[in-house]
Structure 1
Amino acid sequence: MSRPAAVDLAAAGVTLAIEGSRATVTIDRQDHDAGWARAASTAGALADIGRCLSGNIRLVLLRIIGGLPCPDRGRVDAAAADGLERPGTTGLGTAGMTGMTGVGMDGMGSRPPAQCWLSRPDLFSVAVVSGYAVDALHLALACDLRVFCEDAYLAMTGIHQGLVPALGVSRTLVDLIGYSRALDLCVTGRVLSGRQAYELGLAERLVAPGDRDDTVEDLVTGLLAAPRGLAVEIKALLLHSRERTRKDQLRAERDAWLRTAREVAPPG
C-alpha cells in the first residue's frame, strides 16, 4: 500500500516521517479545540499508516504532543494527598474518545482498532507523551514502551463519556499497575501528571522536557542495536506469555532458542 498523503494526515493532526528503519508518527493536540474535534479522523490516519509501513521498518516512535491545561478540562492538584484530581468536562465527547481507540460505539469488534499494529512482533513501538494529552493514555498503552515528560497530564476519561475501557486497555492496565490502581483510575477518571503516571508504573522512562530527545534517542538506539531476528523472537515470547500455560511457554522458549541458535551458528 502506498504511503498516506501528507495532506490527509495533516487534516487529522498527524504527521509521518520515515528515516531508515524508523518511522516517527506525531499526533499534535496543542490546539485543544481542533485537536479533540479531529480525534476520530486520527484513528483512520493511524490505521492507514499501519497498513502502509514497509517490511524494513523496525521501530515506530509515536509522539503525542499536548498543549497547556485548559481551565475547564481538569487540573492536577499537586497539594492533594495522593496527587490526583478529578477532571472537569474534557470536551472530548464520545467521538473523541472512541476515535483514539479506533472504533465507534456501534462498531465495537467489527474491525481491528487503529493502533493494533503497534504490538506486531516485528516492530518496536515507543510512545512519547508531553503536555496536556489526557485522552492519549489509551494510545500510549497500545505501545510496547512509554516515555512520559514531566509536563505530561493523562487520564482514563472514558467514565465521563459513559464508556468502559476496551480494546485490551483494561488488561494492560491491570498487568502494569494492578487491579486496585487500575480500578481507581478507570472509575474516577482522575488526572495523572507525568511523574505520577511513571511512579505508578505506566511508563518506563520519565524525562524533563529538555532531556526528552536525548533520552528517546538513547532508548531507540538501544532497541535497534539488537539483531532483528532475535528481537522478534523475544518480543513474541513476552507478548504471548500471558496466553500460554507454563508448559506451552517453555515449549515456545525452546523452539525460539533452536531457531535463533541455527541463525547464529557458524556455517559447517
Structure 2
Amino acid sequence: MTVPATDADRKLWEEAGVRLDLDGELATVTLCNPKRRNAQSPAMWRALAAIGRTLDGTVRVVLLRAEGVSFSAGLDRAMFTPEGIPGERTFMELAAAADQELDAAIAEYQEAFTWWRRPDVVSIAAVQGHAVGAGFQLALGCDLRVVAEDVQFAMKETSLGLVPDLAGTKPLIELVGYARALEICATGRWVGAEESVATGLANLSVPVEELEGAARDLAAALLAAPRNAVIETKALLQGAGGRSYDEQRSAERQAQARRLRDLAGIGD
C-alpha cells in the first residue's frame, strides 16, 4: 500500500538526512548530510523505508544518490557509545533485549534496504567516494550501480565483531560469487572502481564529475523501454537463480504469452 508523502514527512526525512524528489516516472532519493559523510542512523533507515512506501505505480525508476565527497561512511558510530543517538536505543541496549525484540528491531532496520528491488521499479545507485558497511549494503540493495572512479567499497562489520545484516550478503554473493564475497567481508578491505566493474559489482565506472550525468542517462534509457516489458524481464531474471533450465524456459514462455496478448489487446 502506498501512502502519499506530506510536507511534514519530507521535512522529517530531510532532518534524518534523506531527500525525495519526484519527476514524472523518475524518483530521486538523495542522502543529504554531506557534513557527516551521510553516516546512517535508525532515523535515516526509517525515512528510507517510509519513502519506499510512498512510491506508487507512477514511478518506474528510482535513482539513489548522495551529496558530498562520500556516498555513505556507514553507520553512525554513536550507536556504539553509551551516550548513543538521542531518541534511539544503543547497540548495547539492543543486545540486552529479548530475542524476539532484537530480531524485530533488526528486521525494521532492514526494511530501508529491501524495497529497492521490488518488481515494479528499477533502482540505480550512483556511488562516489566511500561506501562503507551500511553504505555498501545500501548500494547493494539497488538493482544497478554506477560508480565514480574514486569509489571505495568496504564491508567493515566483521572488523567490528559484527556481521553484515542489512540485506547485503545475498546480492553481494550473486554479484561477485561466494569466495570473493567472503574475502571482501572477512577482511574488510577496500574495493575500488576497476575491481567493482571487473567483478560485476558495478555496471559502469566514470570520472567523478560525470557520475550524475551517467546515472541519469541510464535512468532515461530504462524509462525509454515499455514498462510492462521491463517488469516481466526483471521478474524473469530475478527468479532465474531458483529455477532449473527447463523451468526458466517455461517462465519465459509464460511471460512472452502475456506480453504478446497485451500488445495485441487480448485480455486474460
Q: Distance in 2 between matches of 1:266 and 1:57?
A: 24
* Pairing partner for 1:52 from 51, 54, 59: 54
Q: Percent identity?
A: 37
1:109-151 Cα shifts (integer Å, max 9, x gaps): 6456222111111101000011223231101111110001112
Q: Distance in 2 between matches of 1:28 and 1:133?
A: 14
Q: Distance in 1 between matches of 2:240 and 2:217?
A: 27
Q: Distance in 2 between matches of 1:94 and 1:200?
A: 33
Q: Distance in 1 between matches of 2:140 and 2:70?
A: 22
1:140-184 Cα shifts (integer Å, max 9, x gaps): 111110001112222011112322233542222222112221111
> Could you tell me how far 1:192 is from its partner in structure 2?
2.2
> Could you tell me how far 1:248 is from its partner in structure 2?
2.4
Structure 2 contact 138–168 (Cα < 8 Å) conserved: no
Partner residue, 2:243: 244
Q: Distance in 1 between matches of 2:127 and 2:236?
A: 27
Q: Distance in 1 between matches of 2:263 and 2:70?
A: 50
Structure 2 contact 113–166 (Cα < 8 Å) conserved: no
Greater than 6 Å deviation, 4+ residue runs: none
Structure 1 contact 24–61 (Cα < 8 Å) conserved: yes
DSSP 3-state at the match of 2:111: coil
Matched, 1:229 2:228: yes
Partner residue, 1:83: none
CA RMSD, Structure 1 to Structure 2 (Å): 2.8
Partner residue, 2:159: 160
Aligned pairs (5 A) from 1:156-235: 156-235=155-234
Q: Structure 1: which 5+ runs fail to align?
A: 74-89, 97-102
> Could you tell me how far 1:266 is from its partner in structure 2?
6.6
* Pairing partner for 2:12 from 8, 14, 25: 8
Structure 1 contact 134–154 (Cα < 8 Å) conserved: yes
Q: Distance in 2 between matches of 1:137 and 1:22?
A: 23
Partner residue, 2:118: 120
Give the 3 Å change call, closer, same or farther, for CA 194–31 of structure 1 in structure 2.
farther
1:27-48 Cα shifts (integer Å, max 9, x gaps): 1352237x43x52211100110
Give the 3 Å change call, closer, same or farther, for CA 252–161 of structure 1 in structure 2.
same
Partner residue, 1:31: 35
Q: Distance in 2 between matches of 1:127 and 1:91?
A: 18
DSSP 3-state at the match of 2:130: coil
> Could you tell me how far 1:26 is from its partner in structure 2?
0.5
Structure 1 contact 65–131 (Cα < 8 Å) conserved: no
TM-score, reference length from structure 1: 0.80
DSSP 3-state at the match of 2:142: coil
Matched, 1:42 2:38: no
Q: Distance in 1 between matches of 2:56 and 2:69?
A: 32
TM-score, reference length from structure 2: 0.80
Q: Out of 22-31 and 182-191, give the one that drifted further.
A: 22-31
State the one-letter code of the partner of 1:10.
E
Partner residue, 1:77: none
Q: Distance in 2 between matches of 1:22 and 1:228?
A: 12
Q: Distance in 1 between matches of 2:49 and 2:235?
A: 22
